Chains A and B, each alone.
Chain A
Amino acid sequence: MSARSWPASRPRRLGLFLLLLFLLSLVVSYRAAEVRPFQLFFGEGRDNLLVFVRGMFPPDFSPDFLRFILRPTLETIQISVMGTALAILIGFPLSLLAASNLTFRGVLHEAETGRHPWSRALRAVPYFLARAILNFFRAVPEFVWALLFVRAVGLGPLPGVLAIGVGYGGILGKIYAEIFEGVDPRPIEAFQSTGASRPSIFLYGFLPQAFPNLLSYSLYRWECAIRAAAILGFVGAGGIGQQIELSLRMFNHQEVVTLILVLLLLISGVEQLSAFLRRQIA
């Protein structure tokens, strides 16, 4: 019996190469980003940190202040909800174009008659267009979107809503498209072979299969939107972030701590809620 009777296993050169590339990027990034974690704990860094931390205690829990931050807190929630809603409105239609199995590839398109050799390429145009728009929406940070919209529509919650809507619209659109691309094509083929129209196939084949993932990812994005809504306040987009920024600037660190605690409560509350909702649909 020969010792080497099994088929030769080819070494995965590409995988090895990518792993090395990843390790290299870690090393390079470490140097480039000037990672010096100990600076926080020695010398001037430590002194500054201590002053800052000492100034935070005790947190400001006076009823006046709590009553005062109720409105910004609500505003942050409202910004995140409206921002996520807008993101879904932007992302969902774009995702339909950005899913290759809906636009030009896969079972829905195998029987299409290509009278011109480039008709397939032509059908890919909206796909690439949608992908490009989504990439652009995602590439610009929410923060920059917020600055832009503050210039355009003025201070207040609206620029925050718009920033989250556009930025997260780009993210949701891409994820939705990938969820649609991941559905099982077999029922799709079966529905198509009954003579169903594309929208009907979408309703019966794509949506039910994708729904749990669509919902769960949207909820997750809502969680992120709460955080983003808070940060966007720093550039004047209202809510609790604007309050944090004001208190920071006035060295009211006790207020800052209270605000951060409120934010913590908000975020964990939203997390619980979205986890509960996701369990319901699983």
Chain B
Amino acid sequence: MFLLQGVDKKFRRGEVALHGVDLSIGPGERVAFIGPSGAGKTTLFRILNFSLRPSQGKVFFEGSLVDGIGGRRLRRLRRKIGTIYQHHNLVPRLRVVHNVLAGRLGAWSTPRALLSLVRPAEVDLAYSALLQVGIPQKLFARTDELSGGQQQRVAIARVLLQDPACILADEPVSSVDPSLAKRIVRLLIDLSSKQAKTLAMNLHNVDLALAHFPRVIGLKDGQILFDKEPQSITPEDLKALFPTPTEGAGILSTEQAYLERPFVARI
């Protein structure tokens, strides 16, 4: 599905977000990315969903090199990749139905999109997506009236309507409480495996990654530190990833240790 070769990303202020990333993700694979904040996980995902161009290196998608394209061709590629964001990235003033139907924007013509703002089109699709994420009663509610967890479900419903071949979830659960976090991760895994979609997820929470993903990639300072099955990840691997006490404490933990750690929402 994805093949990255020597991908670098430098921002204009000179900071290096990614350095020499080689990565291959097959169709239908489930991959978790872990690492401290500032490791470049979000930048990597923004390159994977074609929101950002690498400064150097090659990105292949479904076997062909993605470079020097724009307009309609770029949009057609983007349709195949659905993204779920840490901050949900919904429009608060719009009703839930429109935020969900926004997943169809890639397929709709502009007049169609405009008409749907007046009289929502394909409401049945939006409803069944909300049914899948468990909040069908919120169909016509205003989005800013929903709780954080509900808004994340709306964002997931939006990706369901987009029906992409690959789902990228960038820290989807770092602003919800731990029990809900687990449920949302499970929901995403269920949905993607049921429809044989590729799933890549950035996680701040190591335990969730190790528990639910057959492949875990450690990212630090813009470089891949390890790329393994969770069983073969050693305490040393994790120590190298999170050397500072604040981020390292409880890392080697079981679920219990995780629950004892004070919950800090990342903003």
Contacts from A to B (Cβ < 8 Å): 107, 110-113, 115, 186-187, 189-197, 199-201, 203-205, 208-209, 211-212
Are B106 and A196 touching (Cβ within 8 A)?
yes
Q: List residues of B (97-140) whose CB comes within 8 Å of A's CBs.
A: 98, 102-108, 110, 113-114, 117
Contacts A191-B102, A200-B110 given; does A211 touch B93 at CB 8 Å: yes
- CB-defined contacts of A115 to chain B, threshold 8 Å: 68
What B residues does A192 contact at CB under 8 A? Answer: 51, 78
**Known contacts A192-B51, A193-B51, A195-B105; A186 and B69 CB within 8 A of each other:** no
Given A189, A191, A212, which contacts B105 in the complex, CB threshold below 8 Å?
A191
Known: A110-B52, A200-B113. A187 touches B79 (CB 8 A): no
Q: Which residues of A contact B75 (CB under 8 A)?
A: 195-197
Find out whether the CB atom of A204 lies under 8 angstroms from the CB atom of B91.
yes
**B155 nearest CB across to chain A (Å):** 8
Those of B16-58 within 8 Å (CB) of chain A = 46, 49-53
> Given the complex of chains A and B, what is the CA–CA distance between A191 and B105 in angstroms?
7
A-B contact pairs, 23 of them (CB 8 A): A107-B51, A110-B53, A111-B74, A112-B53, A113-B68, A113-B69, A189-B51, A189-B85, A190-B83, A190-B90, A192-B78, A193-B51, A193-B78, A194-B106, A195-B75, A195-B78, A195-B105, A195-B106, A195-B162, A196-B113, A200-B113, A208-B91, A209-B93
Shortest C-beta distance, B202 to chain A (Å), equals 15
- Give the Cβ gap from B114 to chain A, nearest Cβ, in Å: 6
Whether A113 contacts B53 by the Cβ 8 Å rule is yes
Nearest 9 pairs of A and B residues by beta carbon: A195-B106, A195-B79, A196-B105, A190-B89, A195-B78, A186-B89, A199-B110, A200-B113, A195-B75
Closest residue of B by beta carbon distance from A188: B89
Chain A residues whose CB sits within 8 angstroms of the CB of B80 once the complex forms:
195
Residue of chain A at shortest CB distance from B93: A208
**Interface membership of B199, Cβ < 8 A:** no
- Partner of A204 from the list B49, B53, B113, B162 (CB cut-off 8 Å) is B113
- Asked if B70 contacts A112 (CB within 8 A), the reply is yes
Q: Is B215 an interface residue (CB 8 A)?
A: no
- Pairwise interchain contact A204-B68, C-beta atoms closer than 8 A: no
Given contacts A113-B69, A196-B102, A201-B105, 14 further A-B contacts (CB under 8 A): A110-B52, A110-B53, A111-B53, A186-B89, A187-B91, A189-B89, A190-B85, A193-B78, A194-B103, A195-B105, A200-B113, A204-B98, A204-B102, A211-B93
Distance in Å: Cβ of B84 to nearest Cβ of chain A:
9
What residues of chain B lie closer than 8 Å to A204, measured between beta carbons?
91, 94, 98, 102, 105, 113, 117
Residues of chain B within 8 A of A195, CB atoms compared: 75-80, 105-107, 162
Bound-complex Cα distance A201 to B105 (A): 8
User: Given the interface contacts A113-B67, A113-B69, does A203 sit within 8 Å of B78 by beta carbon?
Assistant: no
> In the complex the two chains form, what is the Cα distance from A194 to B101 in whole Å?
11
A193 to B47 CA separation, bound complex (whole angstroms):
11
For A186, list chain B residues within 8 Å (CB). Answer: 85, 87, 89
Whether B51 and A203, one on each chain, are in contact in the complex, defined by CB atoms closer than 8 angstroms, is no
Could you say which residues of chain A place their CB within 8 Å of the CB of B110? 197, 199-200, 203
Contact B83 A193 (CB under 8 A): yes
Q: Report yes or no: B91 in contact with A209, Cβ–Cβ below 8 A.
A: yes
Chain B min CB distance to A270 (Å): 26
